[in-house]
Amino acid sequence: MNDLAWLTVAQAADLLRTRKLSPVEYAKALIDRIERYDRSLNAFLRFTPELAMQDARNAEAEIMRGNWRGTFHGVPYGVKDIVDYAGLPTTAHSKILADNIAASDATVVQKLRAAGGVFMGKLSTHEFAIGGPSFDLPWPPARNPWNRDHFCGGSSSGSGAATAAGFVPAAIGTDTGGSVRNPASMCGVVGMKATYGAVSRRGVIPLSYSLDHVGPLTRTVRDNALMLDVIAGHDPRDPGSANRAAGGYTAALGRGVKGLKIGVIRHFYTRDMQADAEMAAGIEAAVQRLAELGAEIREITIAPLAEYAACNRTILTGEAFAIHEKWMRERPQDYGALARERLMAGAFVRAADYVNATRLRRKLADAFHALFADIDVALTASSMDPACRIDDPQAIDHTYPRQARAPFNVTGNPALAVPIGFSKSGLPLSMQIVGRAFGEALVYRVADAYEQATDWTTRHPHALSGD
């Protein structure tokens, strides 16, 4: 069971395709693992072993008939519970939507089902992807597999925890100010916020129409690229969807970084915010490793982190309140305290503030995009600190905004959170690799080269391994 739990998507696909592994055997092993361990992690909000076994049996029957659908055929996955799966509740981890049954699949779910994926269930989230970690909701918050007393990041909390814990090799999260990359960073996995518009958001409960992204979390870079290959693409039913070709995200893997120009946004984590010493040291060691692999490293300067954060916050809170205004007026008591407080902030965003933030956004984005005339990718911090305790509200309030993810929701560029080691206390460290618009393949190329030169993604939470 433990060996199957740590299969990568790529490894599993090879075994499944060649009939060395049965989809039913694979699904059953992960079901057993979830049943054994998730009671201490709460990664799943709605675990669906019956649906998983049905999908697995269907996948196996097709393989036996020679109908191989591709890399995700027979591979288990989970989705954040703001993503619709037909016939199941989409609750957003909130009392407000406790009885909200999805009438149809979200586009990303349609694509994963069409690819032959095995659906394991709906994963925990912060309430409406903004309020958490919270203990005053109908369901408990997810916890960090490396140390269950610590925060696993959010708002795609269950997606990060389930992937890191070996419950699924891949999961779907969403990212409005860093909510794929935060749990990836806290849980030591790989999380991609692709270019704005690259992945459809149809069937996903919105938080901020102009900042929302849907993205994959996996344990390796190659798996992340493989999952993005499945879920990316134009969707005319999503008004923010980009009408351009998608795919080919694995094409540059294995080509290394020799000759590539990497711009390090060092001032984000040394001057604009002072990162935790272990986090900063981990990033610098990763930069040095990339230099040793042949990359040309140069330091670059962009607008201060606080300017990006304020722009993101103004747009996000203003749009979020517009979405929630009716419920906030009629059912404020049914929100958890954190979501209610964070959503209410949007009621005080003036129209002039919102318009000025959108104008600033264009200015910041244009300036950042121009940098790619001289660099291939940028590199900076993701989180400034390792995960804090989940039961310490003051620590969470302090560390949650200490991040450099929001700038790339503002600019729309692809940004990938990558593991870079562990703190002395055994908690994951991370960095971000950022590319030009629709330059995901190059981001993955750089991340893969670093991953192959280290062993961080081969390490797993021992407390859950059964060793």
Query: Which residues are annotated as catalytic?
Result: 80, 155, 179
Question: Of all helices (H) and strands (E), which one includes residue 378?
Answer: strand 377-381
| Structural Rg of the chain based on CA atoms | 20
Work out whether strand 170-175 and strand 190-193 pair parallel, antiparallel, or are unpaired.
Answer: unpaired
CA count, 13 A, side-chain hemisphere, 306: 4
CA distance 193 to 84: 19
Three-class SS string for 51-118? Answer: HHHHHHHHHHHHHHCCCCCCCCCCCEEEEECCECCCCCECCCCCHHHCCCECCCCCHHHHHHHHCCCE
Work out whether strand 170-175 and strand 213-218 pair parallel, antiparallel, or are unpaired.
Answer: antiparallel
Three-class SS string for 435-465? Answer: ECCCCHHHHHHHHHHHHHCCCHHHCCCHHHC
Quick one: tokens of 137? 């909701």
Beta carbons within 10 angstroms of residue 103's beta carbon:
10
Work out whether strand 415-422 and strand 428-435 pair parallel, antiparallel, or are unpaired.
Answer: antiparallel
Q: Are 187 and 146 in contact, with CB atoms under 8 Å apart? A: yes
For residue 392, give the nearest of 70, 150, 64 by alpha carbon. 150
CA distance 309 to 96: 29
Residue recorded with tokens 């606080």:
306
Residue 122: strand pairing partners: 46, 79
H helix count then E strand count, the chain = 16, 11
CA distance 53 to 28: 7
